[in-house]
Amino acid sequence: MVKSGTIILNTAARFLMPLQLLFSVFLLLRGHDEPGGGFIAGLVAAGAFTLYLFAFGVSATKEVLRMVDPRDLIGVGLLLGMISVVPAWFMGQPFLTAQWWTIPVIDFKASTPLIFDIGVYFAVLGSVTGMVMTLMEVDKDEP
């Protein structure tokens, strides 16, 4: 039986979670040039939710996630991964060839590898969070 956390853990989790999530997005976006990337970022984000789960329990975490079920995130991740395949197909290039576009005003380089990486991020996040959450949920229900 996992007990809800102490006051130190609760307070730390409350402030750390948004920071961790922000950090995960940072890791995700810088991944192509600096250490980071979708897989690592996804694990960091999953870590954030796990911490929150340990501190406040399943139902509180579900409230934070609102409508989003971690299992849906797995699907979103896989879908993004598949979507990133499509542009190369339209360009008549081999499967999975990277496509790069520069968005003019903010000078941001968008690309299919980025979409792919975001897909990895969601797939990892959804898988890990889903597993941890289900484990805790089942724990809670058993006497």
Partner 1 sequence: MIQFAVLMGFVLAALSPMLNRWFGQRTSLVLALFPTGLAAWLALQAPEVIENGSLLLEWQWVPSLGISLTFLLDGLSLLFGLLITVMGACVLVYAGGYLKDHPDLARFHIALVAFMVSMLGLVLADGLFTLFIFWELTSITSYLLIGFNHADINARKSARQGLFVTVAGGLALMAGLVLLGIASGSWSLAEILGQEADLREHALYTPMLICLLLGAFTKSAQFPFHFWLPNAMAAPTPVSAYLHSATMVKAGIYLLARLHPELGGTAMWVGILSVVGATTMLVGAFLAIHHTNIKKLLAYSTIMALGTLTMLLGIGTEYAMTAFVTFLLAHSLYKGALFMVAGILDHETGTKDVTQMGGLRSLMPITATIALVAALSFAGVPPLLGFIGKELMLESVLGADNFRMLLVLFAFLASILTIAVAFIVALRPFYGKRHHTPLEPHEAPFSMLIGPALLALGSLLLGLIPAVLGADALLTATATVISGQTIEVALSLWYGINVALIMSIISLGLGFLLFKRWDSVRGKLSVLAPVMRHGPEAGYESIMNGIVRFSEWQTRLLQNGYMRNYILVMLITLIALIGNSILLRHSPQFAFDLDVRFHEVVVVGSMVMGALFATISRSRLGAVVSVGIMGFSIALIFILFSAPDLAITQLLVETLTVILLVLVLFRLPRFSNLSTSLERIRDGVVAAMVGILICLLIMTAWSIQQFEPISTYMIENSAPLAYGRNIVNVILVDYRALDTLGEMFVLALAAIGVIAMLKLRHGENSDSKTADSSKVAAKEPYDG
- Contact residues: partner 1, CB under 8 A: 1-2, 31-40, 43-44, 46-47, 50, 54, 71, 74-75, 77-78, 81-82, 85, 95-96, 98, 100, 109, 111, 113-114, 116-117, 119-120, 123-124, 126-128, 130-132, 134-139, 141
Nearest to residue 88, comparing CAs of 76, 96, 100? 96
Instruction: Give the tokens for residue 51.
Output: 């911490």
Instruction: Give the tokens for residue 19.
Output: 């920071």
Tell me how far, at minimum, the Cβ of 98 lies from partner 1, in Å. 5
Give the Cα separation of 135 and 49 in Å (integer): 14
Question: With respect to partner 1, which residue has the nearer C-beta, 5 or 126?
Answer: 126
Tell me how far, at minimum, the Cβ of 16 lies from partner 1, in Å. 14
Label residue 120 exposed, middle or buried (CB < 10 Å: 0-12, 13-18, 19+).
buried
Give the Cα separation of 28 and 41 in Å (integer): 5
Tell me how far, at minimum, the Cβ of 17 lies from partner 1, in Å. 15
Question: With respect to partner 1, which residue has the nearer C-beta, 11 or 134?
Answer: 134
Tell me how far, at minimum, the Cβ of 76 lies from partner 1, in Å. 11
